Structure 1
Amino acid sequence: MGRGPALFLCEHASNAIPARYAGLGLRDEDRASHAAWDPGALALAKRLAEALDAPLVAGTVSRLVYDLNRPPEAASAMPVQTETVAIPGNAGLSPEARAQRTRDIYDPFCAAVTGTVVTRKTLGTPFALVTVHSFTPTWFGKPRAVEIGILHDADSRLADYMLEEASRLPGRRIARNDPYGPEDGVTHSLKLHGIGNELPNVMIEVRNDLLADETGIETIAGELLTLLRPALAGLGLTETDNA
């Protein structure tokens, strides 16, 4: 396991829908779209984890089956609609069906994160929690100008340091809690796995048109490391010799 200064999560890494859910009644184009996952996020998270010698825990099913960045009690954990996409297979779910999905998908993911946190803490090298996401360039037809969002909840330490470094990326549109913020319910993982474990934490959102190919992913990874490395160092979290 990596001993670097971070633990990465990628909750929306996959658009896979297990056969038992019968595709949730979705059209093929919707299953392939950003509605079902965060395109480019897993590849980006892998680049960052490799660069920082850090472990990565990633989701393996579509967020439309269960959104791992939502608590079980949230309606959006198993949404019936996202933007203009209806999810027929989530309509009218019984409490028992919701509980089964929680046991099958959410609980194992949380257990994997907790196990990784515990193991990392036993290694004695301090670290932060970083979650990696991507977002669509338009939402309900409205263009989004921001390119990189640096999101946080009550603990803004890592986000503050990263935003202090934003001037090192002139021309890149970087913003705090944009295009989402705590009021949108997107900081569940930060609160549960970050604040809950007393870890500095941040959520990174990248506009997915910037992650459309390998070149874009490498470029954005390099830019994020320009923000992350000094930010982690500012918190006293240093890279290991083999990073």
Structure 2
Amino acid sequence: MTKLLTEAEGSPVAVENSQASSPFLLVCEHASPRLPEKMGTLGLSPAALSSHIAWDPGALAVSELLVKSLDATLIYQRFSRLVYDCNRPPEAQAAMPPVSEVFEIPGNAAISAAERRARTEALYLPFRDELADFIAARKVSGRPPVLVTMHTFTPVYHGRQREVEVGILHDTDKRLADCMLAAAGKTKRYDTRRNEPYGPADGVTHTLIEHGLKNGLLNVMIEIRNDLVSDEIGQKVMADYLTGLLGESLASLSQ
């Protein structure tokens, strides 16, 4: 497999509002369930391919609302994390997972080194480079971005109900997360918690480390329980909530 994507499929990376006036840079690594044509179905059923194992339902919709409310830039991956999870480095098994929750992924069961390399070159490297180039250009212009990665999670995982509604995740830099959690404590609109339902030990902070910590940027990862953003009303309410948290937090840090 020398070239994973066809010309008709276009770039794996999409950028919205690149000339945004605010410093917020939204990143959505799991925006789409789409598989490249050459990958077939990876041996999965249509139900599995539309489920949370293939993408983060609602994450892109909320991100696009935040683009408008914050005048933010958005960069997102146009293909499924089942082919390559862009929130993982190439050496991580989870970058091309053979199993996701209770689902075995036959098309990922025995990937050769050449296939791993083809997926990395087709999906991860363009995504990484787009982010890196955008951040570098903003830093040169004297406007370093504030990195916010956008995710959703399933309400039930391995048969267990998750009570948390919004997770505010961070790695070693918790400046922005601390301010957001303080703001969330005032509103009490959602059950909002630190580093839940995942945290750094789960390997989910790759983008924050690679593009946030290494560049000295304010950064945070947001996880939203996906039943809360399954329709337009829920997406709008959540976007309003996050607009308030992010705006208040950045203002607090700028003082």
TM over 0.5: yes
After TM superposition, the score normalised by the length of structure 1 is 0.95
Quick check: 1:219 aligned with 2:237? yes
- Alignment: residue pair count: 237
Tell me which of 108, 111, 136 is aligned to 1:90.
108
Tell me which of 36, 59, 63 is aligned to 1:45.
63
CA offsets, 1:179-216, max 9 Å, x none? 00000000000000111111110000000000011100
Q: How far has the Cα of 1:48 moved from its partner?
A: 1.1
- Alignment check: 8 A CA contact 1:38 1:134 kept: yes
Structure 2 gaps, min length 5: 1-18
Alpha-carbon distance in structure 2 between the residues aligned to 1:115 and 1:184: 27
The structure, 1 or 2, with the larger RCO (C-alpha pairs under 8 Å, 6+ apart) is 1
Q: How far has the Cα of 1:126 moved from its partner?
A: 3.7
CA offsets, 1:96-121, max 9 Å, x none? 11011000100000111112112222
Equivalent residue, structure 2, for 1:240: none
Quick check: 1:121 aligned with 2:121? no
- Alignment check: 8 A CA contact 1:10 1:59 kept: yes
Alpha-carbon distance in structure 1 between the residues aligned to 2:227 and 2:187: 18
- Alignment check: 8 A CA contact 1:152 1:182 kept: yes
Q: How far has the Cα of 1:167 moved from its partner?
A: 2.2
Tell me which of 166, 181, 186 is aligned to 1:168.
186
Equivalent residue, structure 1, for 2:28: 10
- Alignment check: 8 A CA contact 1:59 1:109 kept: yes
Alpha-carbon distance in structure 1 between the residues aligned to 2:226 and 2:116: 30
Equivalent residue, structure 2, for 1:190: 208
CA offsets, 1:120-169, max 9 Å, x none? 22332343100000000010010000000000001000000101111232
Alpha-carbon distance in structure 1 between the residues aligned to 2:105 and 2:240: 36
Equivalent residue, structure 1, for 2:81: 63
CA offsets, 1:14-65, max 9 Å, x none? 0000111111111110000011000000011111122111111001100000
Quick one: structure 1 residues 122 and 51, their matched pair in 2 at CA, closer, same or farther if it must change by over 3 Å?
A: farther
Alpha-carbon distance in structure 1 between the residues aligned to 2:143 and 2:123: 29
Equivalent residue, structure 1, for 2:246: 228
Alpha-carbon distance in structure 1 between the residues aligned to 2:68 and 2:210: 24
Quick check: 1:177 aligned with 2:195? yes
Q: How far has the Cα of 1:12 moved from its partner?
A: 0.2
The amino acid of 1:213's aligned partner reads D
Alpha-carbon distance in structure 2 between the residues aligned to 1:159 and 1:207: 18
- Alignment check: 8 A CA contact 2:26 2:149 kept: yes
Equivalent residue, structure 1, for 2:95: 77
CA root-mean-square deviation: 1.1
Equivalent residue, structure 1, for 2:9: none
State the identity %: 49
Alpha-carbon distance in structure 1 between the residues aligned to 2:188 and 2:75: 31
CA offsets, 1:50-82, max 9 Å, x none? 211111100110000000000000000000010
- Alignment check: 8 A CA contact 1:26 1:88 kept: yes
Alpha-carbon distance in structure 2 between the residues aligned to 1:222 and 1:149: 16
Equivalent residue, structure 2, for 1:34: 52
Alpha-carbon distance in structure 1 between the residues aligned to 2:64 and 2:141: 21
Q: How far has the Cα of 1:171 moved from its partner?
A: 4.5
- Alignment check: 8 A CA contact 2:167 2:196 kept: yes
After TM superposition, the score normalised by the length of structure 2 is 0.90
Q: How far has the Cα of 1:170 moved from its partner?
A: 2.0
